[in-house]
Amino acid sequence: MSEPAATVGFLVDGNQSPEQRAALEWCSANGIDVDIVSIEDVATGDDTSVGDGDYDVLWWHRAAAVEDIDALPDCREPIRSSLEDGGGLVLTLRALEAVRALGIDSVEPDVSTLEEPTTTVGVLWKSLYTDHPAVESFDELRVPTRDPGGPQPVARYESVLPERGEVLASTLREDHEAPHEVAVVGWRVGCGDVAGLGTGIRFEGETPVGPAENRTRLLCGLLDVLADDRVRIADERPKDAAALAADRERLAADPHRPQYHLSPPANWLNDPNGVIEWDGTYHAFYQYNPGGPYHGTIHWGHAVSEDLVHWEDRPVALSPSPDGPDRDGCWSGCAVDVDGTPTIVYTGGRDDLQLPCVGTATDAGLTGWEKSSANPVIDEPPVEPSLRSTDHWRAEFRDHCVWQADGTWHHLVGSGIEDGGGTALLYTSEDDDLTDWTYQGPILVGDPERDGHMWECPELLDLGEKQLLHVSNYETVRYFLGTYADGEFDVERTGVLDHGEFYAPQSLRDDDGRWLTWGWLEPARDEPAQWDAGWSGAMSLPRRIDLGPDGRLRQRPADELTDLRVERRDDGSAPVTLDDERRDVDVSGRALEIDLEVRLEDAAEFGLVVGESPDGDERTPIRYTRASELVVDRAHSSVDPRTAAEPVRMDVTPVDDSLSLRAFLDGSVLELFANDRHCLTTRIYPTRADSDGISLYATDGVATVESFDVWTLDSAWESEP
């Protein structure tokens, strides 16, 4: 794609502005054949060249706001006719305001203004599209396109995303990256394509050579793609299952991508939502941002499994409504069976409000949801007690757990009390539409120092003899084991559900009566590293949660996960005695299950080392000490400075007993289950291809490894190797 578009119709409304004249001079300097086309003449029918398809690409470049946007529908038909026949359209700067009026998208940019950049500005291209023909001349994702001098007109998506457009790039600033400031969007319209470039370019005035060259290459690349009927500007939105599988395949070679943990096909994943078994199929919904690997403009992603082991991507299940109470995001919620109808309760965000919304499934596959006309189903947060507020939120009031007991619906909402601790607020309803709720008050208020000031994602599970309440407090997941009755929770025992990068868990009760829980595994690396990877976030393995014979909480991997085992691989040496020594294990890999039992005789410490390079430059010891502590030492897990290096630790069974440890290594995920009770999940990012070794050691004495098994594990995704 080396030749520029053959013919370009340069759209103008009214007199040409200085910026438009400068853009036309740029076209001439770069050999682009341009005709000036009056939008007014197109609207009145005096100019039929657009509708007749006389141009390969139409280009509307505008620095000022679109003044008469209500008149644009008059020229919509000829422009759409050009697109339907395979033509292209590029909207630059504030011309992007017109996407709704032109019928390209139902959501227009929510930011359109004039800025004064203090640093070089450019585009932050998505790594998912490094092979995009528009940027084939660039070797980097970060492309500066204009200098800081002078005003910069912008039109971009920030709090919202286009409904039908695919985000190709965000905004690059010299002093920081801004993933939430969408810079380049691609749309398919019939056989044609539309590109929106809302920031980072200017023709009027002087521009340094480097940014000017980048601007030229980027614009020429976009014009080339739009003029070429053999390629498309972007995937069609919303993406179908095949397109999501293609996204997953594009990123499958990343050694840090989990193979058997649930992960997004690309872009961003956080909290599990609406997990439910329906007609024998497990459905895992999750917080998903199709705009890129960053938190913002949340939709609900969707994956399904027949066996709890192998998963398939489904199209996005829930999207913000442009004019609804969830315009700024469809945030965390749950799924329940309401008299045979799958129903979700989720948080809708708009402006400074976050309020509960309801939706019902429109098909047996749970791929479509009809939002209630009563949304939001609770109009405002309660007045008493006084709830925490922030600069962004009128009140912290979000995330939902709903269940039915004795004919009454119960509904927990997470919050925090001003100058106090986190809390879970109870509402009740006799209404099967889940739209009429009566406030009852907090079921429990936590100690702010121990339990946190704000509780997200509260969930109450009935374990039979006891009930389990767990909450996420920004730092960790606290649990309370006790008795729930009459709107109050009586705590008998409290602790931490997982001691690592595990957050916002959600559970389902399956057809066998088991409670199965998933949590979000936070990335533990910085935002630029996540952007470069093209994806962020994973979910834990499904855990079975119940009570042991001693009445204490147990957590174990779901039994079905043994079906992932492909080959049993160990060195055949167990039981083995380690006497102040280190031994290599003749096993390597990044998708493994390791199951061992070890006893400290008089050793100060036993260690299982994973992710180890032959020279030891990269390694992650899992240390079991005489202080009854299990520590994941990440000081040398990666030579990449963008990843977390601090240790993660938890207390375990007293040292006089053997330690039973199941370790699941999956790309960057390390998930540990100790004695079927204690969990520690963390993330590691070795950079070397040979950082896949395993070793065992004991220090300052003897440790006996009583059993030791290693299995290689299969992928959960058919599209991955």
**Pick from 217, 258, 267: which is nearest to 237 by CA?**
267
Taking the CA atoms of residue 569, residue 575, residue 579 and residue 583 in that order, the dihedral angle to the nearest 10 degrees is -10
SS (H, E, C) 51-113: CCCCCCEEEEEECCCCCCHHHCHHHHHHHHHHHHCCCEEEEEEHHHHHHCCCCCCCCCCCEEE
Q: Name the 3-class secondary structure at 608.
A: strand
**Total residues belonging to the chain:** 721
Q: Which residues contact 557 (CB under 8 A, 6 or more apart)?
A: 541, 542, 543, 544, 662, 664, 673
**Pick from 307, 394, 306: which is nearest to 355 by CA?**
394
Which pair of structure tokens corresponds to residue 623? Answer: 């240390």
Query: Which ranges of 584-691 would DSSP assign to H, the alpha helix?
Result: none
Q: Is 271 one of the annotated active-site residues of the chain?
A: yes
Pairing of strands 477-485, 502-509: unpaired
The span from the CA of 585 to the CA of 695, in Å, is 5
DSSP character for 681?
E
For the chain, state the CA radius of gyration: 28
Q: Is 513 exposed, middle or buried (0-12, 13-18, 19+ CB in 10 A)?
A: exposed
Instruction: State the DSSP string of 692-704.
Output: -EEEEEEESSEEE
Q: Which of 271, 328, 451, 633 is catalytic?
A: 271
Q: Is 323 exposed, middle or buried (0-12, 13-18, 19+ CB in 10 A)?
A: exposed
Question: Among all residues, which ones are annotated catalytic?
Answer: 271
